[in-house]
Amino acid sequence: MPKLMEVLEFLDNSGKTMVKRLPDDGTAEIKWGAQLTVRESQEAVFFRDGKALDIFKAGRHVLQTQNIPLIGKWVTSFGYGPKSPFRAEVYFVGKQLFNNLKWGTSEPILFRDSELKMIRIRSFGIFSIQVSDSMLFVNKIVGTKGIYNNGDIEDYLKNIIVSRLTNILGDEMKTVFDMPSSFNDLSLTARIKLQADFDGLGLSLHDFYINSISVPDDVQEIIDQRSGMSAIGNMDEFMKYKVAMSLENASQNQGAAGDNMGSGLGAGMGLGMGFMMPQMIQQSMASSVQGSGDKETAIDKLKKLKELLDLGIISQDEFNQKKSKLMDQI
């Protein structure tokens, strides 16, 4: 038997509840003349037969046919008297700003990278929302989705965000190499594009942030290498970088090997490259100021690359990659 309700109110001590249904399940019988209390940052929506009907703003209200005309019209149409209880549910909708809601990809999503082709990425961040249209919100979320508690609503919004993320990243980001400088622009664009989806639910998307985009370990290693060789366009800087990395590796090998023969070889290689490095840098500087100060030619760069390859400072793949670029300049 439905519960007869004479006082309707909901006090949200947590400040985090988006929607609270009275009664918790089923339909209540509400007396005419019942007291309805709607607190600040709340709106109360009367719901009947799968549709939101009447809405109340903050304040104390005595339920009469004058202030709930749609419910009153429904009661009259079925021949109930003015003193007969009517059946309905009441949804108290929180109108405050809900901050720091979290979203994220539970599974990797596919991203077509302009340089690495198809890769899998994960992403997460935070967003803030506010109910802009309580009637629409209750009709869309509660009426068709059957979602009543705050956790389910948050999960539903996360699914919308993730479902749009693939298209947003594909349109706005060409390669993961541009990620660090793209977060702000991506976040702003995502908020603008997602707002249309949120408008259709009676929600306003106040803030949206992409905090991280992560890639598999093998892709991250490529990104780290690209970052370490950010000066690769300048051949002198590239050479110095590779020599320095070789010296560091030789030093580490020397310390790990102790006093055995491997240590001696590692030390010898480290010292040999240590003596060579100043000479190579000096030759590079001399070449750069030779004649009237012209830039070193592509052929000079190729010769230096070959020296680094012969010394084992760069790999064959690295040599081939740079050689291909330099050949285009000849």
Mean of all residue pLDDT scores within the chain? 76
The mean per-residue pLDDT over the stretch 76-80 comes to 50
Q: What is the pLDDT of residue 261?
A: 42
pLDDT of 236-277, one tens digit each?
A: 555 665 666 666 666 566 555 455 444 444 444 444 444 455
pLDDT at res. 205: 95
Neighbours of 304 (CB within 10 A): 20
What is the pLDDT, as a whole number, of residue 189?
92
Rounded to two decimals, the pTM is: 0.63
Tell me the mean pLDDT in the region 214-237.
Answer: 67
pLDDT tops 90 at residue 129 = yes
Q: At what angle do helices 298-310 and 261-289 cross, to 10 degrees?
A: 170
Q: Is the pLDDT of residue 43 over 80?
A: yes
The pLDDT of 22-45, averaged and rounded, is: 88
Lowest mean pLDDT among 93-107, 190-204, 273-287: 273-287
pLDDT classification of 234: cutoffs 50, 70, 90:
low
Query: Which pLDDT value is given to residue 145?
Result: 66
- State residue 52's pLDDT score: 80
Q: Which pLDDT score, from 0 to 100, does residue 201 have?
A: 93
pLDDT of residue 74: 54
* Res. 199: pLDDT tops 80: yes
User: Which band of pLDDT confidence, cut at 50, 70 and 90, is reported for residue 183?
Assistant: confident
pLDDT at 235: 52
Give the pLDDT confidence score for residue 279 in this predicted structure.
52
pLDDT top residue among 85 and 11: 11
Percent of the chain with pLDDT over 90: 24
Q: How far apart are CA 16 and CA 147, in angstroms?
A: 16
> Over the stretch 134-148, which tens digit does the pLDDT of each residue have?
999 988 887 766 666
The residue-averaged pLDDT of 96-117 equals 88
The pLDDT assigned to 38 comes to 96
Residue 82: its pLDDT value, please? 54
What domains, with CATH codes, occur in the chain? 4-94 (no CATH), 98-217 (3.30.479.30), 229-327 (no CATH)
- Can you give the pLDDT at residue 39? 94
Q: Report percent pLDDT > 70 for the chain.
A: 68
Distance CA 12, CA 92 (A): 10
Q: What is the pLDDT of residue 166?
A: 83
10-19, 234-243, 297-306: range with lowest mean pLDDT: 234-243
